[in-house]
Structure 1
Amino acid sequence: MPDSAHLLKLRLEREIAARKSAENLLERKSNELDASHHELLAQIAQVTRLSAAIDSAGEGIAIADTDGIFTYMNNAHAQMFGFACGKDLIGQSWTRLYDSEALTRFDRDVMPQVAREGRWSGEMTGRGGDGAIVFQDLALTQLRDGGILCCTRDTGLRRIREKETADLRRRVIEADRAAALDQLVETVTHDFSNFLGAIDASMTLLAKQYDQSEPRKLMMSVFDALHQARSVLNQLHPGYTAPAEQICDLTDLVPRLCDLMAPLLDITQTAYCKVPDTPLFVLAEPTLFARSMTNMFKNAIEAMTGTGCVLRIEVEMLPGYAPPTLPFAPAARLIFGSAIDGAVARIIIHDEGIGMDQAVLDHALERFVTTKSNGRRRGIGLTSVKDLVETCGGGLAIFSTAGVGSVFVLDLPARANADVPADTAEHMILPDTIANVLLVDDDPIALNRLDRLFRARGWEVASFSDPREALAFLEQAPNFIQLLVTDRSMPEISGDELAVRAKQIRPDLPIILCSNALKSAIPTEIDATLAKPPSGESLQAILVRLNLAG
């Protein structure tokens, strides 16, 4: 009995010890499980935050398995390709986002590098669900299970900004160049206007000394060239506005332009100019007309490379359009403009030059196209003729045969003398010279307007944009000038000071102050004031008051 009790006691003690051990183990495992639970919750929270961050990231992120099927994609990646959310592409192949050209690049370059190095990055062009091109920076990383992690960023906006930056940089450079060119043009026009004014005034003095017809004819050619040069310089000025069209008499103007170009002929060559006995008028901008004619004359002369060639210029009046009669059968022709409905003033220029083939004629009116080998030729001459036709109406026809010559036929609408518009009548040149006027203004546009107004009234004009040059001219020829017209606000010497110094040289010289600054006190040396821009009527009234109307 005692032995049984002892054994029972021992068994009970073992069971109690085993239970305590089991309880301790259970408590330890429970604690470990609770710690693992908290760690798992923390990891879940971290994964949730990371997933939310990935889903809201600006960069596109996607994962494809070993078969190339998308298993994950954030919304940024999907929206980059035109899809609403990443779920729209889960379970689909990544290849649907690229065209055949891009897939060829993946097979040839990208995937082999991923297999070798575990990653690849570079620029790639994708294709959106709507077919739009998607420019992207792409980075691929191979995962442990063989899948691919894709990170991408849309570079379309960056490309647009880069292009806008490049365009802005280009515009800034062009603006700088334009500003530099404007400054250069202003300097050139200012300085050359002074030179031309001095030449013009000196030639006017010389012309007074010669009554012989031949020297005077040559001087008139110099005057024509000077006036054309001044008109061209005025066109270079940034504030230039084209003058109004004026009535031009072709029977006077064309022969004068021929005389101007005649010195370019070889000594063995000859030029003939035939015009009607009665005036033939057209309405045109004089400078543009003169440029067009001289360019055609010059081209014709330069085309006549042989000796003994003849240049024929003919002006004729036609009651209506008629096809021109040609001296040869043309191998090439160019027709520009349209036939005139009404009277036609026709100018025909026929040269015995090298001629042109059709390939050359097809581009003859384009800017910067030339057949001359001399590098100084710029190919802009005939474009002025095109501008003349477009401005005045009418047409230009060119007929040519290589080795034979060319014929230029320019048709402009003819006008009767009675058709002179009232606003251009004041610009018509009167036959007799009234007196000589000295014009001074640093603004070439204003100077040109005064020049035209005075010449329209029969005055001979000496123009200066630099008052110092004008004063020097007056000192050299004090009795040559019958009137001084000056601007007020000018560099170096103001109009007020110029008037004072001019009266010291010629006390009886009438002086008109032509300016917009007439509110301040006017010097006593000023005989009359004229507001800018001057009109023909206001100028005429002042000339009448000063007894200078002729």
Structure 2
Amino acid sequence: MGRRPEKNDKTAYEPPEPSGPRSLEFGEKGLLHALESHCDIDNIPMAYVEIDLEKICITRVNQLFCRLSGFSESQLVGETDLRSLFSIDSNSLGLFLEKTKHGGAGSTSLPVVIHRQGAEGVSCSARLQAVRNGEGLKSLVALLSDPPPWRQDDMERLRLKAAVRGSKDAVGMAYADGRHFYHNEAFSRMFGYSLEELRNKSPQSLYNNQEQAVEVFKSIQNGEFWSGEVEMRTKNGQIIHVDLQADGIMDAEDRVIALIGHHTDLTDSKMTVLQLAQSEAKYKDFVENAPIGMLITNLDGEIVYANKKIEEVTGYDLRDWKNSSFLPILYPEDLPVMHQQRNQALTTRKEVKPYVLRVVTASGEIRWLRTIPQLVFSDASNSSGEIVGFQNFLEDITPTKLAIEEKERLEKQLVQSRKMEAIGTMAGGIAHDFNNILYPILGYAEMLKDDLTPESIPYKNVEEIEKSAYRARDLVQQILSFSRPTEQEVVPVAVQSILEDVLRMLRAVLPSTIQINPKISRKCRMILADPTQIHQVLLNLCTNAYHAMLDQGGLLYISLVEEHINPSQGESVLPIAPGDYARLTVRDTGCGISKDVIERIFEPYFTTKIAGEGTGLGLASVLAIVQKLKGHISVESKVGKGSAFNVYLPIIPITQGDFVEKDISPVPKGCERLLIVDDEEAIIKMLAQMLHRLGYKVTCFLDSLKACNAFFQEPESYDLVITDLTMPKMTGLALAEKMLKIKPSLPIILFTGYSEMASSSDVEKMGVKALLSKPANIMDLGRKIREVLDEQQKKQ
């Protein structure tokens, strides 16, 4: 574009006054500019040749030049050996081009000799016009002639009309004073004016912006070529965007005597650009606010673009991460997956299937992202081009993932609950049968102790048998309480005695590769708890320690000390109230526990063991028991070094000496007639012998129906009935009901190996006087018999 007016130059364009009579004596330059842009050069009445100044070759010729040179158009177009065709003053030509390059006049006249094929050269006058583009000189156009001076306006007008009539652009011409004198059909279609309508209109009136009009006309008046975009107004008032190329037509003295303009309507293309821009804006807004994340990275993983959703999910301002790697926020264990997928995509040049990655957010939270990767090519329209990066669509599936995990956890919990329910059902049967087995062992052991002196070795051996049998009884009770949790009765417990029992059991079952190092304080006072549950806590902790050292062996430290938590410490150190606590510590030298596993070890059903080796309920039940006792459990661990569990249980302010000594009074005896019914022969024989020792007359039955018949025949022959609850043919409750119908005052004691099969309140409603659980020792049995008989005698 030519020179623009200064900002402070407010002078409007004034066309120069005509000097002498107005004529159309245009030079060759005027004609040349009339023919620019899509002109039919064969209509030009002079020899025409156009030379590309970049490639230095002929690009266009007309038929007059072909006839003048003797060559065909196909021979001339593309010719680079210009010296074989022309002889021209190279110094003058070079000077002209140099001046034109730096803003000088774009046209000149030079003599030239055309070397004709097979004939003598022809001397001509060449009118040269340099054609510019945005980067400099583009081409050189020459009109060759040996012309006489231009003669008359009509002849010029005819030539100009011939030159521009076929132009596809809208071409308009006007005198320097602003009067239109010609335009082609394209101009009329664009603006809607006829020539008659334009004769009295100034070219400036077609401009929507008068400052632009002043700029254009002043540039042309100064002999400059003007090119650029302007806003113009059509006859019906519509504003259109026009690409204008305008120049002056000069006479022989280089005076501007007329103006010519080539107009290209840009309105539709501008509208298309606007619509495209609006579409791009909408697309950008959609991407920026999309409900899923979009992340574009280069091949090094550096962030090129991230939308708002990515920032929302990760908590990071990833716009500040531009040109930084996205990899640091990926979950470390997922990096190999991501690299594998990327390498597969790069190798196959195909998109890979969606996969799941985890990211660590700014707050440390782990989020699950479903990743849909796409390759990015250097040429978006050519998938065979160079791969420059990845476009990743990231969908936050954390809620779904957590819901699935929760569903799986609940399903596992349901399965485990059903297993526990089945174990509970089975445990009832086991408890009944096992207690029936234990009862004769305990009964005979007690009677055997009565036959031995306490100082004898056989007496001590029998004591050990008795202790083991009682531990077996407690184990059955523990299985029952574990499978069917009920409200446990808490009593003052000396933890030392429980620890000694646990240590004896551990020494019997642990391999020699694991050494036990106990440290038990005898000064530690008692706690208020269910002894069975304390057993359960210790056994679970020791079992976990054993599994941690199973492969390599090691040391198992078990300690009990009394510890005081100061008020100044309190919940700032441990989440428990200040006071005195029994601290149980179970420490191993095994494999240790990682940090992420420690955070979950107390979750129900969480286990690191392989399927079938653990339920995930051990530590969960330990935590539940400790919390119920208003205590606390903590864990410390180092991978490869081992773990330590510390259990804090509140001390009760009494000592073992505060309790009343065990009752050593003799077992109550009697002489009444007893009817014993049980389907276990070993129990019948043991009870018969035990009760004979207490002075009672005993009649025994293994069959409940026979016992019922015997009672029906002589109901007054029996002062008390002891019957098992679960028997074939007729249960103990059914037997009691029949007997009570015949003798309502009959005292009945119901024996059961599984207490949950009947409750004291239920059996009392039926008239049964007492409910005893197997295995009952001789003292409990003797006292209960005497208690029931004495109460019955008081009523009589």
Give the TM-score band, short-chain normalised: 0.3 to 0.5
Bigger strand share:
2
Q: Which has the higher contact order (CA 8 A, sep 6+)?
A: 1
TM-score (norm 2): 0.34
Specify the structure having the higher radius of gyration (Cα).
2
